[in-house]
Structure 1
């Protein structure tokens, strides 16, 4: 197993975020303990959870068990889309911090937008959560360009990240460019396409050239695009593989071939409550 990888860091809005993080969706109890312990040994210093994952207590326990100093890693959690009113967001943020038991989170995100709650109210509450010490930084998730523009106009604190589905079939180039232009880190969830792209001939061909897996090729593609990627795995060998992507580079031709995999129907995650991706 590869270990102690040195992962590049993206800076945005005053935050410094390691480009590879451990996603924890669906990981609980001893499984998350093992995944976090393996990740720390392999060099991860970025961990992602959410109130909706129902594992913040477990993630906090797992991180404390590693013995890492709190200021040596980056921790993200998210407020669920039903909790975006002023009082509800405050209570949700306080509850997340309490469950994690690690003090202020490094990044507090709005998990999904909610058109039923005024964005001005939500952003005001999110900024207050930062100012009152619940989070060091704030951001959003699943925000298209139009909504991100509105959020930027309404915020009194830097929006340091937008976390969205992104992989070769959904490369999000316009949204990524907008984030770059506004000093917002672009964080990719489902960065290897939920495991559905590993047999794609473009990826498997490039992987064979470099002696890597297709998943590693996709994660290297993210790094070279300036994305932050948060792959999730409970398997120790995969956790280690996913961070072992700093010892090779994709050529411009290989990057272009992966970019060309982008497709109009590439989105894999589209919940019923999302009315528009525009």
Structure 2
């Protein structure tokens, strides 16, 4: 299996209206995105699949990722619902299949071999995990036969995840950053705004360019003109001084922090 080539992606959490979701996915692919992220939990896999089908981009050129709902992580449910996700997406396989949250029906010893089975069966090319702690990540790395291709977590300039970035380098997987704009908080951050103004860029592009430079694959949700605007980050090289200034920002709080998340146990 060739290594997973992950570029800045389109996040689809919250794109609940099917027509808007389909149009956004198609627009993003035509603008140059080659990575689309969805999940069973988002209840929009069918609309995402319709957007992929509507675009003129070759399916083989697009990394499509989805995630198994934490209620569906018993082995039989993993196998059954992953195939149901393919049906909704209208695809014969996904490029990347994640454990969405290691909670509720998740049991590492039982759940993870089912992901290996799906990879062996060609349902997915790669296996990923999301919202894992370092200990759970190391445990998964030991249990899985498949290499962990990606770990998806909240990551943005005010929540930089240095420990998980280092662990991604150690274990040789990609860190994928959801909420890379801090659920919009970064757009109004005065210190990011100062850097953005100095470079004649938007705050969003600055935050995304920082992530890319630091080895994080951001997956911003966007609609309308923001879809193309965010893609500008791929071609932006911030100065070392600007990158260092972002690195030195005071850390903020998680924007997504459910009570049953693994880090709260």
Fold shared per TM-score above 0.5: yes
TM-score of the superposed pair, with normalisation by structure 1: 0.91
Look up the match of 1:209: 198
Q: Distance in 2 between matches of 1:132 and 1:102?
A: 14
CA-atom RMSD in angstroms: 1.6
Structure 2 residue aligned with 1:267, among 248, 254, 257? 254
Given the superposition, is the C-alpha separation of residues 253 and 199 from structure 1 closer, same or farther in structure 2, using an over 3 Å criterion?
A: same
CA displacement, residues 129-179 of structure 1 (integer Å, 9 cap, x when unaligned): 111111010110001111100000101111100000001111000111101
Q: CA deviation at 1:248?
A: 2.8
Q: CA deviation at 1:187?
A: 0.0
Equivalent in the alignment of 1:106: 95
Query: Which sections of structure 2, spanning at least 5 residues, go unmatched?
Result: none
1:41 aligns with 2:58: no
How many residues align? The count is 264
For the 8 Å contact 1:162–1:187, the answer to whether it is kept is yes
Match of 1:146 among 135, 138, 155: 135
Query: How far apart are the structure 2 equivalents of 1:214 and 1:147?
Result: 33
CA–CA separation in structure 1 for the residues paired with 2:186 and 2:180: 10
Provide the TM-score with structure 2 as the length reference.
Answer: 0.95
- Asked if the contact 1:13/1:183 (under 8 Å) is kept, the reply is no
Structure having greater relative contact order (Cα 8 Å, sep ≥ 6): 1
Higher helix share: 2
Structure 2 CA distance for aligned equivalents of residues 77 and 126 of structure 1: 13
Out of 222, 225, 230, the residue aligned to residue 233 of structure 1 is: 222
Unaligned runs of 5+ in 1: 1-11
The separation in 2 between residues aligned to 1:172 and 1:157, in whole angstroms, is 24
Equivalent of residue 122 in structure 1, options 111, 114, 128: 111
Q: 4+ residue runs of structure 1 moved beyond 4 angstroms?
A: none
